[in-house]
Chain A
Amino acid sequence: MFDIALVRFLPSNTNIKFISLRWVAMILSVIGIIASIFLFSTKNLNYGLDFKGGTVWEFHLDQDPTNADLDAFRQLGPELGLGELAIQTIAQPGDKAQAIRLSVPKQDALEGDENDDKAQQVALESVKAAVIKLYPEVDKLENTLSVQVLGTKVSGELKRKGAMAVILALLMVLLYIWIRFEWQFGLGAVVALAHDVILTIGVFSLTALEFNLSIVAAILTIVGYSLNDTVIVYDRIRENLRKYKKKPLGDVLNLSINDTLSRTIMTSVTTLLALTALYIWGGPGLNGFAFAMIWGVFVGTYSSVFVASPILLALGVNRGGVPK
């Protein structure tokens, strides 16, 4: 009964000439990186509350809000002197009313205050009072979904820490690969990772999706995932370099990528399966994270084949006197 037909995604012995595609890949990657850097420096990122500061309040009314309701909320910003309020509706599961997400931009420090922490709290208070005056039902405890308030100091710290985490992770990884392999491998892996990080930031700049702490977590996970792929390919390259001492390096790279190709694809598929479930059913709180990770699986897989390996060809590998 166990001899059922097994599904084969790929023929058993693939022999795709990945390495000869390296120039095409390089052009693509360079265009992508330049576009990302350009987008980041002109459009920047749509920073979420974590990095921008300000107030986000999510609540719902007893019924779904009408456009008139939303306009009324929008008008509160100029009325209270708080600047433009961003109003969004969020679908709520179950039979509950649609939630309203009200964002107050970060306020300047009050007169006589050293930092702007208090100003944010004052802003929240005045918005809350105004909304409750319009819709008394909002005062009910169960109608508030969440409140988040951050001043400049904490949001600045989170931004610095986030950037530090990504850079630190790249350095540690470089160190580990350097110890386990040779320096060329370490450099190749880190270039591939930097490539993934830059492209992910580029996509977030392009789509203007909210960039918050969980996206930083996603980027670090992408680093981990992409590295996972790269290390598997590298490991096979190392093994094949020992096995085929006379084969040109390009052929060894090609062979190794093909050897590990089915594994690369299988793992990408299972990870994408789980992430798609997370994206569709995981709730609004994890949507951005799931999106970033799905993108990361594609970029990470691409980079280990088309970035990390060709770099070895460019840098050369020490093969004990065998010409490359």
Chain B
Amino acid sequence: MLHFSRWKITLILGAIMLGLLFALPNVLPQKVRDGLPGFLPSQTLNLGLDLQGGAHLLLEVDLKDGLDKTLKSELAGLRAALREERISAAMRNRDEAIFVTFKNAADAETGAPILRKQSVPVDANAIGGGGKTLIIQKLNDLHYRVTVSNEFIEYISNRTIAQSIQVLRKRIDPTGTTEMTLAKEGKERILLQVPGAKDVGEIKDRIRQTAKLGFHEVVRVDPVIMDLCVNENRCPLASIAYPQKDGSGYLMVKDREIVTGADLKSASEGLHPTNSYPIVNFRYNARGAKKFCDFTATHVGEPFAVVLDGEIITAPNINTAICGGSGFIEGSFTMESARELSLLLNAGALPAKLNIAEERTVGPELGADSIAAGKIASIIGLIGVGIFMWMIYGLRFGTFANIALATNIVLIAGALSLMGATLTLPGIAGIILTIGMAVDANVLIFERIREETRNGRGPINAIDTGYRLSLAPILDANITTLIAALTLYFVGSGPIRGFAVTLSIGIVMSVFTAIVVARLMTSTWLRRARPKTLPI
């Protein structure tokens, strides 16, 4: 146990030097780090949001909304397909399924294959086909039930989340300069992390708004009909009532938009040419421009409504055909709200509603306090443990243990920097705990050496036996602790994972420093000093 070959010593020292090299940037000032040549590591520890401050938002995507929309569009598709073949059938959308009732047996016979033809592969590019979009069940001769397949639901969900992430990125970071994380989390969530001091309220406002913009034709109706629609949800066919932003009651509009936010090319805030109120300027793309031109040409003198997220922001009259491909929206904006709306329009509408399921925001001040407190506690803990080890095991072996402990801390910092792991507040707790527990392996060994010395063994024999017999218990004890730490990593979430990471690395490093580094020191000393008795 006490012999180290030359290459082994080189390897051990090399590993420690490497750890030192990777840990070093953490204590260098930023200026020195920037001046380091490229081949040297300059990566420092990533600080978690709880230490550097920032916003952590877990967003839940309302996938049901997307599913409803899909069902509606599939229903329209089925209806169109049957109509093309002149087959009459009643269709109803109920309980997340479409119920088709054919008029007679002959229609059912020709209609059923048409229904089936509407079910296409979910992903046309998937190798091996993949699943189909729809499931068509025959209930009886005339009745069929059409549902969306699980594969299709999953495909839609994934697409919705991917699109949401894209839109959010453009909304929160329009200039592409903010450092932030936006990633899918689990099946129906998006994790958004923005480090640094930020106005979280502004970020949340940009998340909450779907920013679904539509230009609708206004339908003039009797107040009685309006009342039925608003209060009893019995609206005329293909029409819908929206409240007006200025509080002047409801307006009835056509369900179908003339143009939507998707037909916009760009938007920007500006001032009204005559009265200088803030407005939102926009430009249509070619398709949008043509549609709007056609509509306004045939509806001169009538109003149209601009609807944003279920609210009419303005309903101006059409004075002449608008064919220039651009226009503006006025609607009692402030300069600020006009800028926000143009930003949202430029980023596009969210494909589904987002809910904030979890919010954790930490101000930079609190984070800095936590780091300072963690540093003080670590240093005091280190000094306390160091003095204790010297008191118990004397200067010689106490020093071995303390060098091992210091190496351990350096290696933890090095490993965390190298892995690009994130240091969190619980992570600091993990390091401090490691300071206390890391000497355990050395304590075990030294106690064993004492015991073997008492049993009458000579120094070399006692040390050799001590290391040999301690190996199994050290490994067993640390592997079991490691199991607990790893469980925590895989089941835990957020900052707690940071604790699991530092604790796990600390355990592994403490075993290495005790049974390799401290043993190397002991054996080197033994060979040089050849002591008659052990100062332990």
Contacts and interface: CB of A to CB of B under 8 A. Distances in A.
Given A147-B200, A227-B481, A273 B385 contact: yes
Interface string A138-156: 0001101111111101100
A99 to B, nearest CB: 8
Contacts of B473: 231-232, 235-236
Nearest to A153: B357
A1 B440 CA distance: 26
Contacts of B11: none
A165 B365 contact: no
Interface string B438-462: 0110011001001100100000000
Interface in B471-515: 472-473, 476-485, 487-488, 491-496, 499-500, 503
A74 B62 CA distance: 35
Contacts of A262: 447
Contact of B483 (A94, A162, A169, A283): A169
A145 B443 contact: no
B447 A142 contact: no
Contacts of B369: 92-94, 283
B381 interface: yes
Contact of A142 (B50, B197, B204): B197
B536 A146 contact: no
B374 interface: yes
Interface in A1-33: 1-4, 6-7, 9, 12-13
B359 interface: yes
A293 interface: yes
Interface stretch (B212-220, B270-278, B297-305, B422-430): B422-430
Contacts of B199: 141
Contacts of B436: 270-275
B496 A216 contact: yes
B394 interface: yes
Nearest to A214: B426
Contacts of A93: 369, 372-373
B433 A173 contact: no
B485 A148 contact: no
B263 interface: no
Contacts of A224: 480-485, 503
Contacts of A115: 355
A283 B370 contact: yes
Interface residues of A, number: 84
B373 A282 contact: yes
B362 to A, nearest CB: 5
Nearest to A177: B480
A2 B393 CA distance: 10
Interface string A247-289: 0000000000001101100110111111111101111011001
Given A169-B484, A224-B485, A176 B370 contact: no
27 contacts: A2-B396, A93-B369, A142-B365, A144-B361, A146-B363, A150-B359, A153-B60, A153-B357, A165-B492, A169-B487, A172-B487, A173-B480, A173-B483, A176-B483, A214-B429, A221-B484, A224-B503, A235-B473, A235-B477, A270-B385, A270-B443, A273-B436, A274-B384, A274-B432, A278-B381, A282-B429, A283-B373
